[in-house]
Amino acid sequence: MDAAHKLEISRRGVLIVGAAASAVAAPSVSEAQAAGADAPVLAKVAFEVNGTRRELELDTRTTLLDALRENLNLTGSKKGCDHGQCGACTVIVDGRRINSCLTLAVMHEGGRITTIEGLGQPGALHPMQAAFVKHDGFQCGYCTPGQICSAVAVLDEIKAGVPSHAGADVTAAPQVTSDELRERMSGNICRCGAYSNIIEAITEVAGGNA
């Protein structure tokens, strides 16, 4: 199969999937739309957050990040840039880490969302959270929830064999090395500069040596 043909298939695939998704999961636009051209368009959406089903009626412009922070009061996910540049808003949706500021809440009908609050709480920390405390993988703490959500997903990605730029051979199973972790974590900025400690924390959770 040549490259152009592959692209054609995948483009069609996207269209088909997109259509199916909208047929099944299109949020129902409420009456508010009729209130006037300028009135915010509200839509209902339901998804699971940290194991609990949540139903919301939201301005369709609301990002997943703002829905979590402003509507559900889950302020552990941070807004650092609101433009997908810093990673502070990283959450895990359907098993994959995403920048929650770069996606609209209404796009996640039926989604399973894990935020930092869902990983663990003081007194019952997730091993990654505990390792960040032990290795002092933060200072101000503002990028930390995003770093931790990212780190948890990174280890799953490595386990699943998802390749990265750090690997010489994309078909080989990636290993938990410092270079792999640094490459995969590079979407999460820590301006306090605790990177060296963060890699040690993740390495410990992965059971390796940094």
Task: Count how many residues are written for the chain.
Answer: 210
- The reply to whether 117 sits near another protein by the rule CB under 8 A is yes
Residue tagged 């959500």 (tokens): 149
Chain residues 160-199 in contact with another protein, contact rule CB under 8 A: 178, 181-183, 185-199
**Segment lying near another protein (by CB under 8 A), choices 20-28, 31-39, 106-114, 169-177:** 31-39
Exposed / middle / buried, residue 117 (Cβ in 10 Å: 0-12, 13-18, 19+): middle
Q: Indicate which single residue of 56, 106, 116, 176 sits in contact with another protein (rule: CB under 8 A).
A: 116
Q: Which is nearer to another protein, 62 or 103 (CB)?
A: 62
Written as six digits, the tokens of 136 are 């002092």
Query: Could you say which DSSP state residue 67 is in?
Result: I
Q: Which is nearer to another protein, 47 or 118 (CB)?
A: 118
| H runs (alpha helix) in 75-176 | 116-119, 127-134, 144-159
Q: Indicate which single residue of 49, 92, 113, 119 sits in contact with another protein (rule: CB under 8 A).
A: 119
d(CA 126, CA 124) in angstroms, rounded, equals 7
- The reply to whether 27 sits near another protein by the rule CB under 8 A is no
- The reply to whether 104 sits near another protein by the rule CB under 8 A is no
Size of the site for another protein (CB under 8 A): 68
d(CA 187, CA 22) in angstroms, rounded, equals 30
- The reply to whether 34 sits near another protein by the rule CB under 8 A is no
Q: Which is nearer to another protein, 9 or 133 (CB)?
A: 133
CA separation, residue 142 to residues 50, 183, 194 (Å): 20, 21, 12
Which amino acid makes up residue 72? L
Residues in the site for another protein, rule: CB under 8 A? 36, 38-40, 59, 61-62, 66, 69-70, 73-83, 85-86, 88, 115-117, 119-123, 125, 129-130, 132-134, 136, 138-145, 148, 178, 181-183, 185-199, 210
